[in-house]
Copies of this chain bind each other. A is one copy, B any other.
Amino acid sequence: MIDINKAIDALKWEKEPRGLYEPISYTLASGGKRIRPTLTLIGAEAIVNGSLLNGDAIEQAVPAALAFEVFHNFTLMHDDVMDRAEIRRGQPTVHVKWNDNTAILSGDQMLIEAYKLLSDVPADKLPQVLKWFNEMATGICEGQQMDMDFEHESHISIDDYLKMIELKTAVLLANALRTGGYIAGANESEQQALYEYGLHIGLAFQIQDDILDVYGDPKTFGKAIGGDICSNKKTFLLLTALETADAETKAELLQWLIATEHDEQKKIAAVTAIYSRLGVREAGETVMEEHTSLALAQLDKLPQNAATEKLRVLAEQLVTRNK
């Protein structure tokens, strides 16, 4: 199995001008779970192991895997500027450590670097891989725009929210898997199955994130519990609460949303109590489990091997981790 961290570390950033490349190196060295490139390689493995046709196919998928990781880190660098986020993976964000201009320009260069990596995809596969990559990248920008628009909009439906997280998060996982499979020779039905699996697992992950932000174990969650509540973030839980609450409960909830002077812990406790009363956690878990089931169902359309077994375990862990 290819060590994706080693492959990322092997990317060379010791180039001039340092002001452009140092923030890229800093960002990629800051870790992260490397989920996207790992999915690309699993996507390739799933097909290669199934067809036993081409042992080089996983090697061939590495540039695309790296492209997804570099692209993902580009989105974080620019999103952190837009969201004025100060900490990422326990370190100051690039615009804090350097400045906004650096984060903008090094982010631009990272996007270009992703396309550079992509250009190493075998020539016969390149047109399709590039087309998918562009569609995915477009979706992610559209999702980020929707997310920013949501901050200023008072009525957001659950469907709008699901569309936003699909674009902002799920299409990248979906395309990372599909691209890996495609490079390894997946047929159209397998490409589609890998994509759909990634899409549903991405949606499930994001809804779970919303749930864990409120109901997670402070010891293992890694962030402070209730952060979304404090910042009035329009999560699946909040939108479901607003959609399902009776007039009195809704008024109580809105009271907390517009309050500018309040004790944070008190707000978290009060909003969490409303959530629990309305059963929004259970509503979230239901939608999450639906998407997990839809993801698992896709696996039947793929070769049954060690790689697809990893995808099965990933989906199952997702559900149990939350309970």
Binding site for B on A (CB under 8 A): 16-17, 19-20, 78, 81-82, 100-101, 104-105, 107-109, 111-113, 115-116, 118-119, 123, 126-127, 130-131, 133-134, 137-138, 141-142, 144-146, 148-149
Contact = CB atoms under 8 A, between A and B. Distances in A.
B111 A108 contact: yes
5 contacts: A82-B101, A100-B100, A105-B144, A108-B141, A113-B138
Top 4 A-B pairs, shortest CB-CB distance: A20-B145, A109-B141, A17-B145, A82-B101
Contacts of A126: 123, 126-127, 130
A134 B148 contact: no
A98 to B, nearest CB: 11
Nearest to A127: B123
- Give how many copies assemble into the complex: 2
A104 B82 contact: yes
Contact of A116 (B20, B104, B105, B134): B134
Contacts of A109: 138, 141
A249 to B, nearest CB: 31
Residue among A112, A118, A126, A149 with the most chain B CB within 10 A? A112
Nearest to A118: B130
A81 B82 CA distance: 13
A108 B78 contact: yes
Contacts of A118: 130
A34 to B, nearest CB: 23
Given A81-B104, A108-B111, A123-B127, 13 more contacts: A16-B142, A17-B146, A78-B108, A105-B141, A105-B144, A105-B148, A108-B108, A115-B133, A115-B134, A115-B137, A119-B134, A126-B126, A126-B127
A23 to B, nearest CB: 10
A77 to B, nearest CB: 10
A17 B116 CA distance: 28
Contacts of A112: 111, 134, 137-138, 141
Given A108-B111, A131-B119, A149 B82 contact: no
